[in-house]
Amino acid sequence: MNDEMLVVYTKSEEETIELGFKVGKNIFYPSMIALMGELGSGKTTLTRGIARGMGIKVRVKSPSFVIINEYQGPHPLYHFDLYRLDDVHQLEELGYQEYFYTSCGVVVIEWAEKIIDFLPPEYLRVKIQIEDFTMRKVMLTPGENKGYHRLIENIKSELKC
């Protein structure tokens, strides 16, 4: 296990949202969060918390049918849901490079494992595992960028409170 990895267990939807809130409150700009995990693991729920932590007032919903939703706040949140992505070349049609490489906000990608080869070298990897009906194991692994390491450290210190 990576020494820099943070592992958090959440026991409810509210706790998953609260963890996301801590991520969103401490995130830097621009940044990318790659969410991985099976269907129903809580990726959209975590994203709702991230949006709240970023100061976004509208409710985040699963963009499964449109692939990308944009939410405006003090900084924009670009929410990708790649569940229905059949071919990675569809990303090119969406102009993913603009979001991934020139965005001034936060890009959150659900089902990021589908496009791992298209991701930039730096991002926060978040793997959510279903432990049982309510419990989730959330593993946050920072990229090499010091900003992601500070993010993990800040979340760790908030969790100790």
Domain boundaries, the chain: 6-160
**pTM, entire model:** 0.93
- Name residue 2's amino acid: N
SS3 79: strand
pLDDT at 63: 58
129 burial type by CB count under 10 A (0-12 exposed, 13-18 middle, 19+ buried): middle
pLDDT for 83-132, tens place per residue? 888 888 788 888 888 888 888 999 999 999 999 988 998 999 999 999 99
CATH 3.40.50.970 is right for the domain spanning 6-160: no
DSSP-derived secondary structure letter, 87: -
DSSP-derived secondary structure letter, 69: E
pLDDT for 38-67, tens place per residue? 999 999 999 999 999 999 999 888 755 678
